[in-house]
A and B are shown apart, each in its own frame.
Chain A
Amino acid sequence: MNEQPSKITVAFSLNGKRVETSAHPFDTLASLLRNDLGLTGTKVGCDAGDCGACTILLDGGQVCSCLVAAAQANGANIETVEQKNNPVLEKLRDAFLAHGAAQCGICTPGMLMAATDLLTRNKNPDRTEIADALGGVLCRCTGYEPIIDAVAALAGGNGNLASECPDTGHAVGARVERTDGRAKVSGTEKFGDDVAPDNSFWLRAIRSPYPSARFEISDIDAFLKTNPGIKTVLTAADIPGGNGYGIFPNLRHQPVFAEAHVRHRGEPVCALVGARDAIEFADVASLITWREDTPVIGIDGGTDPSAPALHEEWPDNVLIRGYVEKGRIGDSDADIAATAEGRFETGFVEHAYIEPEAGFAVPEGNGRVAVTASTQAPYMDRDEVAYVLGVDADAVRIIPSACGGGFGGKLDVLVQPMLAVAALKLNHPIRTVLSRIESMAASTKRHPSKIWAKASADKNGRLINYESDGQFDTGAYASWGPTVAGRVPVHATGPYLVPNILNRSAAVLTNANPSGAFRGFGVPQAAIANETLMDDLAEQLSMDRLEIRHLNAIRAGDKTATGQVLTHSAGLDQCLDALRENWQTMLKDAETFNKSDGRIRRGVGIGCMWYGCGNTSLSNPSIMRLTIDPEGTITLYNGAVDIGQGSYTIMRQICADALGVPVSQIEQVTGDTDLTPDAGKTSASRQTFVSGKAAQLAGEDLRAKILAMSNAGKNAEISIEAGAIRVIDGNVRRVIELDSLDQNENGNVFEGFGTFDPPTSPLDKKGQGIPYATYGFAAQICLADVHLDFGTVKLQRIVAAHDVGRTINPTLVEGQIKGGIAQGIGMALMEEFIPGRTENLHDYLIPTFGDVPQIDIKLIEDPEHHGPFGAKGIGEPALVPTPPAIFGAIRHATGIVVRRAPALPHRIWQALQETPGS
């Protein structure tokens, strides 16, 4: 057993006040601030100086507080995001809000402090100086440009920092300030590791270092005797209900704690629960005996006939297959003038949300438990936890903390079930936070893929056939593997009209991290294959790459791969029209640039996409509730968890316009499964479309009830004030005195409800049916420079055109697009998770300031009548076209066809060596 050195007294100035406290000298300053002094505004993202979330000012200069020993703070002047009355910091807070520089908000304190450091030294920095000064902080949401805009707005001391306060009826479409924005820029927002009760015990899972192994846990009683601060060691034997979770109720096979056998590195086998020092410092080497097995690695490893089965149920390691067939390949072959075919490969991609998984559980008596955690899916979490506890769902309450980024990775329950089990076993509050390395080792990833695809077109460029076979490494457990296998064949053909289609997919089990949901569910991987083949066909037919896409763009009235007739809101052709001028300018730019004889070559690329909003052929309803109490307070009960994208803001905008009141009047209760009705999960680009529609219906329902009571026509004006509602209908004015009305059991005088479940139908044997009620469409073009000596790619500019149906909040929509593009850049050029090797944020590279070029956005509004005020989803569509657009630019610049993502410098260089004349 190891022990840390005895505590010492440290004294320093903290935000202008003298602080004296006892501390472990070798504890980090970040931990001292957060855990001992309760200043949780400073965030910890990596404990290694890689992400900058914990940036504070030490004697005026920015430092990572995770790299400063507590003893080294002695005598220092320390400033954190909680600092008040620093005029530079106060202005930065406003600027961040006005420019959408805070999305999830987890990096925001670090960004603010780095910017404070800069603006204190340099009052008028240019954009490069801003990037240089903030370059040590990673952001996974914004794409950085909004952050640079915010700081640049203060350069020189001026800048308009006001948000819009729209008039009644005009909230939709306005740049309304983020509802949760002020908390995010003040350091008061509470993320998963910021709120646990002070007396909580800490939980630390012990995880397998091996991808495949058998293990035994030794004498726990003996271990507890030598580790007196540890209250218990939880194992599979402590699970009261089913020891498994999974996204699909019939696939709950991912154990909370493994039993005798682990199937991936990072899989938990037990958990220590007790005092923080005790669980952190315990040496567990003696607790577990491992016997390593040969792991099944990679898609080829999993499908090798001699490979052992990971699970008995799937002897060939194929978890599930997907299939879509339309028309018949071969029927129109006589018209084929060009055929393109290729094999493509992509690797694991890590979500790299800057907030690792964290949360706490509190027993509420009578076997009930409340779990607060950073999550995208509180209602699914509730069902998962109830299953593990062996109780009814109503015995579990899930309260989402603020979520410091999710992108699909916080749809799985890494911490919730074990916290609940521990809380009930010890009848005590329990908290946990994963370290960055644990988070990366244990959490889900984007599915690696191997895709074969073949496309053909007639002499005019019209597509005739599309065939594809996509294999996906789904890792050790199902997670969202079935969703990927289902979504890919539907989308693999791209946003184009093709008469004959045969798309297949398979999810292969291996001893890797479970692959799960990640912004696009396999569609980004398929788009790389699809868009490369479109470029091939254009080349063979000597057509312009944009025009061949425009010609084939699926339009209203056309039939999709699943035979669904799109009746409206299919705006790809409009997106391409909007990009045409930029495209031609970029092509000329590249042509001119390449006339010079340098070692840098410039190219232009294009990527298109479509994406079905909501679950694939499955019911996924959302319910919203809007109430008025006798004081006239309007409250939206909003269960659509905001993970940074803005659902706590746009639902208010939608409700305000539906009800006919100013958005400022809509109060909100958010995401608590005891309080808010089920609004499903924040995934599949469904919240704006599905929950937004429910919010609109709730607003309309409430309005109808008020109008009915006042016998007013539907165009009447409503104003709600203290204790009364005034209704003006032409010359008729009525006042409803709220205290004269009966209150319902909740103490409200009016309640409106909205429920929306997008209309879909099941897919038949051939994959025919209506998988989604609507689709988002987009096209992006990219200008990029490739260095022939180094294979490095420098992006110059991206222009993105997205059909969003209707823009609810332009700042938030642009934020989603810029952030999605940044993740697409990472996937295309640098991100490759290798289990056991890149489990930190210095070996696993995500884009930094300076890796994301100028992004121009064109919003196309082809209204979706199912959606709220015509809106549909944007979260995932933002990322899908980016890698193909970048690869197209690399190809245009160099002739190199990228068939493996990421296109790391040495891979591009290698391809250049193999290409004569480059």
Chain B
Amino acid sequence: MASYFQPQSLTEALALRAKSALTVLAGGTDIFPARATGEAWGHRQTHDILDISQLAELRGITRQNNMWRIGALATWSNIADAELPALFDSLKLAARDVGGRQIQNRGTLAGNICNASPAADGVPCLAAMEAQVEIQGQAGTRCIPILEFISGYRSTVLAQDELVTAILIPERPDATISHFLKLGARRYLVISIAMVAGVIVPGNGDSVEQAFISVGACSEKAVRLTALEDRLKGQPITGDLSRLVEDSQFADLNPIGDIRASGEYRNAAAIKLVSDMLRQISGPLLQQVAS
């Protein structure tokens, strides 16, 4: 007989996790569809479930020690509705475009990264924020950069006896801006063909001090465009940053062709999306987006 655990505390949850292999359930937006797919062909596997939805420790979005802490149970709607600095604009845009409002009300950002789909909308945003994933087990807590947490196609470094407890995002200066663009074949309820996220940290005199640009759905996991980031450093933010985009900066992408698009298209779209994103958050349009 399969088991369904609904612990009331993190300690209890970690003890259960240490004891046996359990499938972690929070918002259910990935687990139930996967179950329906198996069932349709007669392969119903009844996993033992660890329902973490009651763990109060994992709720909320807080600020501590120069870090923003997004609890593992924070939903897309929680993020979209929270009062957060412009650094989070990209994540908020992603949050408002994931599935429909129903999905946004249930699905969690932590679940999105644990599912580790190449098309996970949260990942490029988090990559551009240099987010860390806080992982707890009975042995203790570790923090791993988001792009190391995701180890490959639909896989993570999370061990069987661990839980993701939060996503940690380093604070940035108040003037930091961010943006997110997503490309899909219809308006709502759409899985991204490609998406891009960017964070620009201005320094003194309106020049770019740091830039973080990432692309999703064009590789096994989101990719940071470090060559472009380097190129942007020191550039005046009041100019059109998109003119600095060059095809060679996208060499690390490895997009596949599938039902949604060809690999060639994804690559070209990523370049245009990054250009559009930079155009929209720099130069004359800067104020409009930031406000």
Contact = CB atoms under 8 A, between A and B. Distances in A.
Interface of A: 2-6, 8, 25-26, 28, 46-50, 52, 55, 58, 61-64, 66-69, 71-72, 114, 117, 131-133, 135-138, 206-207, 209, 280-285, 435-438, 441, 789-792, 829-830, 832, 834, 837-840, 842-843, 845, 847-851, 904-906, 909-910
Given A280-B44, A437-B36, A441-B40, A904 B261 contact: yes
A49 B32 contact: yes
A58 B106 CA distance: 10
Contact of B6 (A2, A25, A131, A789): A25
A63 B106 contact: yes
Contact of A136 (B6, B45, B103): B103
Contacts of B51: 25, 69, 71-72
A131 B37 CA distance: 29
* Most chain A Cβ neighbours within 10 Å, of B37, B100, B193: B100
B265 A910 contact: yes
Given A4-B2, A50-B189, A838-B259, A791 B265 contact: yes
B77 A61 contact: yes
Q: Is the interface of A mostly helix, strand, loop or mixed?
A: loop
B41 A207 contact: yes
A135 B265 contact: no
B189 A66 contact: no
A136 B100 contact: yes
A135 B100 contact: yes
B268 interface: yes
A68 B268 CA distance: 39
Nearest to A7: B4
Interface residues of B, number: 52
B187 A850 contact: yes
Contacts of A206: 42
B119 to A, nearest CB: 11
A906 B262 contact: yes
B261 A68 contact: no
10 contacts: A3-B2, A28-B32, A58-B105, A67-B33, A132-B96, A132-B101, A136-B99, A138-B189, A790-B269, A832-B259
Contacts of A26: 2, 4, 25, 46, 49
B259 A5 contact: no
A62 B189 contact: no
A49 B102 contact: yes
Interface string B39-71: 111111110010101000000000000000000
Contact of B32 (A2, A48, A845): A48
Given A281-B46, A830-B185, A905 B40 contact: no
* Most chain A Cβ neighbours within 10 Å, of B4, B37, B77, B103: B4
B190 interface: yes
Interface in B253-278: 259-262, 264-265, 268-269, 272, 276
A25 B2 CA distance: 11
A285 B43 contact: yes
Nearest to A839: B40
Given A48-B36, A834-B259, A905-B183, 15 more contacts: A3-B1, A3-B2, A6-B1, A25-B49, A50-B33, A62-B102, A67-B29, A69-B28, A117-B101, A131-B188, A133-B101, A135-B101, A284-B42, A792-B185, A905-B185
Interface string B89-101: 0000000100111
B41 to A, nearest CB: 5
Contacts of B223: none
Interface of B: 1-4, 6, 25, 27-29, 32-33, 36-37, 39-46, 49, 51, 53, 77, 96, 99-103, 105-106, 183, 185-191, 193, 259-262, 264-265, 268-269, 272, 276
B189 A848 contact: yes
Contact of A843 (B44, B49, B259): B259
Contacts of A209: 41
Sort A-B residue pairs by CB-CB distance and give the 5 closest, nearest first.
Answer: A136-B100, A850-B187, A135-B188, A437-B40, A48-B33
Given A838-B259, A909-B268, A5 B105 contact: no
Contacts of B6: 25, 71
Given A55-B102, A71-B4, A71-B51, A49 B29 contact: yes
Contacts of B4: 5, 8, 25-26, 69, 71
B186 A435 contact: no
A253 to B, nearest CB: 25
A346 to B, nearest CB: 16
A842 B189 contact: yes
B265 A906 contact: yes
A136 B189 contact: yes
Contacts of B268: 789, 909
Nearest to B28: A67
A850 B188 contact: yes
Contacts of B186: 830, 845, 847-848, 850-851
Given A5-B2, A435-B39, A842-B189, A137 B29 contact: no
B36 A64 contact: no
Contacts of A69: 4, 25, 28, 49, 51
A62 B259 CA distance: 30
A56 to B, nearest CB: 9
B2 A849 contact: no
Given A67-B28, A791-B265, A62 B49 contact: no
A3 B190 CA distance: 34
Contacts of A851: 186-187
Contacts of B1: 3-6
A63 B32 contact: no
A131 to B, nearest CB: 8
A790 B265 CA distance: 8
B101 A845 contact: no
Contacts of A72: 28, 51, 53
B258 to A, nearest CB: 9
Contacts of B49: 5, 25-26, 69
A855 to B, nearest CB: 16
A909 B261 CA distance: 10
B26 to A, nearest CB: 9
Contacts of B99: 49, 136
B177 to A, nearest CB: 23
A39 B40 CA distance: 24
Given A5-B1, A25-B4, A49 B103 contact: yes
A138 to B, nearest CB: 7
